[in-house]
Amino acid sequence: MEKAWATSGVDLHLELPRDPAAGDVTAPSGNTGPSGGVRARLEAALRDAVRSGRLGPGVRLPSSRALAADLGLARNTVAEAYGQLVAEGWLTARQGSGTRVAERAAASTVPVDDPNLTKLTSLIKLTSPPGHTSPGELTRPPRYTLKAGSPDLSAFPRAAWLAAGRRAFTAAPSHALGYGHPQGRPELRVALAEYLARARGVRAEPDRIVVCDGFAAGLALLAGVLRARGATTLAVEEYGLPSVRDTATAAGLRLAPLPVDEDGAVVGQAGRAGAVLVTPAHQFPLGAALAPRRRTQLVEWARDTGGLVIEDDYDGEFRYDRQPVGAVQALAPGHVVYAGSASKSLAPAFRLGWLVLPAPLAREVAAAQELAAGPGSRLDQLTLAEFIVSGAYDRHVRRSRLAYRRRRDRLAVALAREAPQVRVTGIAAGLHALCELPPGLAEDHVVARAAARGLDVDGLAMYHAGAGAATSPARPALVVGYGSPPEHAFSGAVARLCAALNDPP
């Protein structure tokens, strides 16, 4: 029997196994009575639709009357099938809201009653070490996360952003809905020039700003232009995001890792590199600020060699123990590219970033972006411009700065109390902290134990330029992103981290 749910509002093709009396598919057993066989086949079809993901959690099913009419069944048969699946936990029924698919864990493509899976799971449980995950758990997302790289997305100022968007869209000229300039909307570039000068000390003119689809997209454009200019080598901090290194190498640049210590990157080893990429305000992920003498040394290197400094100011607005350190770009605007984005201050989903470049380079990067059909949504650019000009961006940053400072303090206090052998290092800034492990406590052991407790957190080794190679250093630590969890989950995430740190080897 095959029927489409035409009157239910749910666009789904439902197939019922045929009656065994017809010599076809064997109906499920366990139901008796006049309508037992039909009801059992309906239950089996609905279970399969939920289990396979064709009916997702929260989907409202048609009423028993509507489904009975669609399938040519008695209404009581459908109502009894619904009742059985509610009792089993597949569906939920609430007065006034109808029957819905229950909120369940991600469905497996293997039926849960598959005898082969049952045997395999039992064998794994008997032979696997503690903390090992079974096949049914492999796709289950962690309940908590302390991964670095994201702000608290639940704290995004939705109402203020929507209000700014309405104002910006109402005031925008008709031509703003066109393809626009490859450097981005002029309203945003003007707003950024004022804001960056005021908040980060950047010396910027609107015509030297290129709006891009986040930092990664901006770096890809810049790396391509540098390669076309003849550059062959990019010096990078030996610790950093693997994706940043991948972006540079994809553009044809060879990487020259720079050591990092308590004073930041050892920029004196840049040599004859065509450019140097650094995170001077808050080194990622070790957490040091580039010392004043090294800032001066970096600028002198650029002037002496004609090389370019790329300053990734990914979280420069979030400093907690003092006023944020100004941008290196202000020391030598003709030799430094300042890169920023809204990914940490607002949300990564908007893909809004910017480069402040020396004038000749700004034209070349804009030309490269035009070929790449970027940047993205002009409407989001107009909204961000209004958000900045209205003062809403400053207010949001101040609120976020206070919230993340409190989180960092709570993390430090919890570790000092529950895991005093762990040392929190780096300056009080940003959305992550480096937690150095004591001798004898393996980084991968803690990461695995945290995962077994439903917590996602990264070890330091994955950020090293030699990760996976013999040159990868033995410096066990965790990179704890205290900005990532929503507020209601932060205490639970930290508690699981402390428990994982205290688990026996």
Residue-wise pLDDT tens digits, 367-409: 999 998 777 788 999 999 999 999 999 999 999 999 999 999 9
Condensed to tens digits (0 to 9), the pLDDT of residues 149-207 reads: 999 999 999 999 999 999 999 999 998 888 888 999 999 999 999 999 999 999 999 99
**Is the distance from CB of 293 to CB of 325 less than 8 angstroms?**
no
Q: Is the pLDDT of residue 35 over 90?
A: no
Q: 332-355 in b/e burial notation, b at 16+ Cβ within 10 A?
A: bbebbbbbbbbbbbbbbebbbbbb
Can you tell me which residue has the tokens 């045929």?
A: 18
Condensed to tens digits (0 to 9), the pLDDT of residues 75-101 reads: 999 899 998 888 788 898 887 778 989
Condensed to tens digits (0 to 9), the pLDDT of residues 59-72 reads: 888 888 888 887 88
Q: Predicted confidence band at 140 (pLDDT cuts at 50, 70, 90)?
A: low
CATH 3.90.1150.10 assigned to 144-153+395-502: yes
Distance in angstroms (rounded) separating the CA atoms of residues 496 and 456: 10
- Give domain limits for the chain: 2-101, 144-153+395-502, 157-389
**In the prediction, which pLDDT does 401 show?**
96
CATH 3.90.1640.30 assigned to 157-389: no
Condensed to tens digits (0 to 9), the pLDDT of residues 485-505 reads: 999 999 999 999 999 999 876
Average pLDDT, the chain: 85
How would CATH label the architecture of 2-101? Orthogonal Bundle (1.10)
304 CB burial (10 A radius; 0-12, 13-18, 19+): exposed
Distance in angstroms (rounded) separating the CA atoms of residues 199 and 281: 13
Q: Give the global pTM.
A: 0.73
Question: In degrees, to the nearest 5, what angle opens at C-alpha 183 toward C-alphas 181 and 189?
Answer: 105
Q: Is the pLDDT of residue 126 over 50?
A: no
Q: Among positive and negative, which fits the CA dihedral 258, 263, 264, 267? A: negative
**Is the distance from CB of 65 to CB of 75 less than 8 angstroms?**
yes
Helix pair angle (378-389, 392-418), 10° resolution: 90
